[in-house]
Structure 1
Amino acid sequence: MVLALKDQYVWDSWYVHDGEKYHGYYLKAPRSIGDPELRHFNVSYGHATSTDLVNWDHLGTCFAPSDDGWDNYTTWTGSVVRGDDGLWHLYYTGTRKNDPQLRQKIGHATSTDLHNWERVGDGLILDLVGPNAPHYEADVSNGEWHDRAMRDPWVMRDPDGDGWLMYFTARVPGVAEANDAGCIGFATSPDGYDWALQPPVFTGGFGQLEVPQVFEKNGIWYCLFCTAAHHFSKEQTALRPLVSGNHYLIGEGPRGPWRIAPGFLDGSLPCSRYAARIVDTDEGMVILGFADHPDGETFGGYIMDPDPVEIVAGGELVVSPQRQAAE
């Protein structure tokens, strides 16, 4: 294990390079809570730095839920980018206490040093409201799904023009099969501050496509995501073995069209690695994710060693079997 804390569960993570070193951010919760499933509701952000994605210097807690705001219950997975204003921008998921639908919304904070973060206003920048809101499942009071999903924002510059793009985990309404209603939500901004909700860029295949990460490599666009075996649609169940882990979409551009890649990138049952990110290094791409149940029984709660990722014929991604065999 490379990013682990003795007294803390560690799970979803994301990374940014400042020109000299990597900054890793991760969700953490005290192991003293006992049941690891309770970690989601006892969460804060940890921060660590590294020059090689293997050896880490831990810098402690850097962000947490607000005292009494819209995000006073949880601050979940996000992403960090450097803006045109020279500031570092954190986009994150927030929820409020005592919300029976566990409605998730997107928040925004900035920093000058990548550790001390200040919310922009009250932090809230995006919700499922406005003219494009009908494209999304905004009400789960009927109990067909466990939460009002809008989380895991991944923000990047718009390669096709000025401004910024955001991708997030969400669901669409009016689909008969709950496990075919997952989508990659989408929003745009001219400056990283003011955001407009857009229709999803991809829908279907799974009940949820968590922790999206969009990137381009060798002229091909990829959208990494993670999902669980019990969230496969009937169609996907017929096409591939049931596993939990990390898979991806292949696209013609940042706005799509997107299709589900064949096979499955990095999965097992029980799940070994989840909520992975692909990081482009000088030596090539590597994948990092947290240890879910690597021994098949016990929750791991740490970030696993990075494994090489290669692009093979047809633009498909594969995790290097040499490194996996050596673990």
Structure 2
Amino acid sequence: MFSLPDSYVWDFWFADDGDQYHLFFLYASKALQNPDARHHRASIGHAVSRDLRSWSRIEDALVRSDAPAFDDVATWTGCVVRGDDGSWHMFYTGATLTPLGNVQSVGVATSDDLTTWHKKPGPLLEADPRWYELLSDGTWHDQAFRDPFVYKQEDGTWRMLITARSNHGAPDDRGVIATATSDDLEHWTVHPPLSEPGAGFGQLEVLNTAEIDGRSVLFFSCLASDLAAGRQETGTTGGVWAIIAGPDGTWDPRAAQQVSEHDLYVGRVLTDRSTGSAWFFAFRNTAPSGEWIGGITDPMPVTVVDGRVQIGEAALVALAG
């Protein structure tokens, strides 16, 4: 497990340079004395590993900008991809406080070596009110437009998935898969969401995709408090959710499967390049007592069996069977 004795550690993402695996993670000092206060003090740390289990922390990747800026409160969750020219691009969430509350948007930094990062002027992308809810709509506690996840499509274009909320629908049930596309990782176009509101989620946090046993799987997380009333009434807890793509290659949040309880959050899959095995990671969220824990798990097995995504012990049982 990766953790820091003096800091809260939570959301994370990976990059693989062919030699080392790079772990980027959100952290904030435990001197805050309250894990709930970490969000407005988050910086992006960096660690490296060759075996996905032993991690060595190196210099931080990004910190918040001086005010006024779109990321002058904190730098939040993102992703790293390598461009066609060999340069690395970190797309990340910038958070700033306005008189109405927290507003989130997407920024980008670039690097030649995955270690020294240079922010570009931002924000790169903001919520488009044609399709996405704004804080001024007054229906949610923040303006959700965050957690960018970027991948290259078969046609060579880049697609970004973004946590956002629709500008219509029941206020507690507006979570959608926001999206944008680019030909060059620099110029982006925001599009209507890839899903509709009404799937039972107030927001779909940290969207990310993986190929598991030949199936395209979309992961996201949702806290119990952010579930729509209909899901809350069933007693469903928060945790990590997965959507297996349909025959047309799309993901429907109405078909989401819960793959972890509230003890784990922010599920991601990374493939071990030496074995080709897919491994599942998450951060430790809450103890049975309700206390927040933090820290990133060791790799866990993950598989898809009979149309269900299984992780950890359940995956081992499924694979043995």
- TM-score, normalized by length of structure 1? 0.89
Any idea what SS the aligned residue of 1:103 has? strand
Match of 2:38? 39
The count of aligned residue pairs is 312
Any idea what SS the aligned residue of 1:79 has? strand
Any idea what SS the aligned residue of 2:195 has? strand
The structural deviation recorded for 1:190 is 0.7
Match of 2:92? 92
The structural deviation recorded for 1:124 is 2.0
CA distance in 2, matches of 1:324, 1:9: 30
What CA deviation, in whole Å up to 9, does each residue of 1:144-175 have, x standing for no partner? 2100100000000112x122000010001221
Moved more, 23-32 or 303-312: 303-312
The structural deviation recorded for 1:243 is 1.2
- Kindly indicate whether residue 131 of structure 2 is the aligned counterpart of residue 135 of structure 1: yes
Identity %: 33
CA distance in 2, matches of 1:263, 1:158: 24
Match of 1:215? 210
The structural deviation recorded for 1:299 is 1.7
CA distance in 2, matches of 1:99, 1:85: 41
CA distance in 2, matches of 1:323, 1:4: 25
What CA deviation, in whole Å up to 9, does each residue of 1:257-312 have, x standing for no partner? 52444642111xxx211112111222522221111113433221211222111110
- Kindly indicate whether residue 269 of structure 2 is the aligned counterpart of residue 278 of structure 1: yes
The structural deviation recorded for 1:115 is 1.5
CA-atom RMSD, angstroms?
2.2
Cα 1:67–1:110 shift into 2, 3 Å: same
CA distance in 2, matches of 1:67, 1:58: 25
CA distance in 1, matches of 2:226, 2:166: 15
Q: Verify the 8 A CA contact 1:276 1:288 in the aligned structure 2.
A: yes
Cα 1:253–1:201 shift into 2, 3 Å: farther
Any idea what SS the aligned residue of 2:258 has? coil
- Kindly indicate whether residue 309 of structure 2 is the aligned counterpart of residue 317 of structure 1: yes
> Structure 1 residue runs of 4+, over 3 Å off?
216-219, 234-238, 252-255, 259-263, 322-325
The runs of 5 or more residues in structure 2 that have no matched partner are none
- Kindly indicate whether residue 120 of structure 2 is the aligned counterpart of residue 126 of structure 1: no
CA distance in 1, matches of 2:56, 2:97: 33
- Kindly indicate whether residue 189 of structure 2 is the aligned counterpart of residue 190 of structure 1: no
The runs of 5 or more residues in structure 1 that have no matched partner are none
Q: Verify the 8 A CA contact 2:209 2:216 in the aligned structure 1.
A: yes
Q: Verify the 8 A CA contact 1:248 1:260 in the aligned structure 2.
A: no
CA distance in 1, matches of 2:253, 2:140: 24
- Kindly indicate whether residue 163 of structure 2 is the aligned counterpart of residue 169 of structure 1: yes
- TM-score, normalized by length of structure 2? 0.90
Cα 1:263–1:187 shift into 2, 3 Å: closer
The structural deviation recorded for 1:179 is 2.4
Match of 2:113? 113
CA distance in 2, matches of 1:76, 1:157: 22
CA distance in 1, matches of 2:213, 2:49: 26
Q: Verify the 8 A CA contact 1:272 1:292 in the aligned structure 2.
A: yes
Cα 1:29–1:35 shift into 2, 3 Å: same
CA distance in 1, matches of 2:314, 2:188: 43
CA distance in 1, matches of 2:271, 2:248: 18
CA distance in 2, matches of 1:193, 1:255: 26
Cα 1:302–1:104 shift into 2, 3 Å: same
